[in-house]
Amino acid sequence: MSFLLSCPNCGARPVDEYAYFGEVTRRPPLGSSSLRDLTDYVYFRDNVAGVQREWWQHRIGCGEWFLARRDTRTNEIIEVTRPDPSAPESGEAGAPGVADGQHAPSTAPSGAS
């Protein structure tokens, strides 16, 4: 199902211009994580039927990384925000790495370089 997603820089555009990088998750604490904690972080997601926070990148546009609150049942976009690098939840959220040749702004999720 196609829908419009608003880039913080470019405004509303078709979702086909964006790359979805998954729901926002919390990283386990460094150095004190068990193998179980790391496995859960890497492989398991809540996958809620409802509103969730997600990482997106405007690939066919400005390249900006941002967070969206989206209802997964209807694809309704509730809120779009830039991540706050000083906020703990932004720094703890992870997304897959950026492909070679792509740039990740300083506001990209940790691990996306």
Q: Tell which wins on pLDDT, 101 or 17.
A: 17
The pLDDT of residue 69 is 97
Tell me how far apart the alpha carbons of residues 28 and 12 are, in angstroms, rounded to a whole number: 34
pTM: 0.72
> Please, what's the largest Cα pairwise distance for the chain?
42
Strand partners, 71: 51, 76
Q: How confident is the model at residue 88 (pLDDT cuts 50, 70, 90)?
A: low
Domains of the chain as residue ranges with CATH = 4-92 (3.30.2270.10)
What tokens were used for 66?
């941002």
pLDDT of 29 over the 70 cut = yes
pLDDT of 102 over the 50 cut = no
What residue ranges in 1-113 does DSSP mark as E strands?
A: 4-7, 11-14, 19-23, 51-57, 65-71, 76-81
The pLDDT of residue 65 is 96
State the average pLDDT for the chain: 80
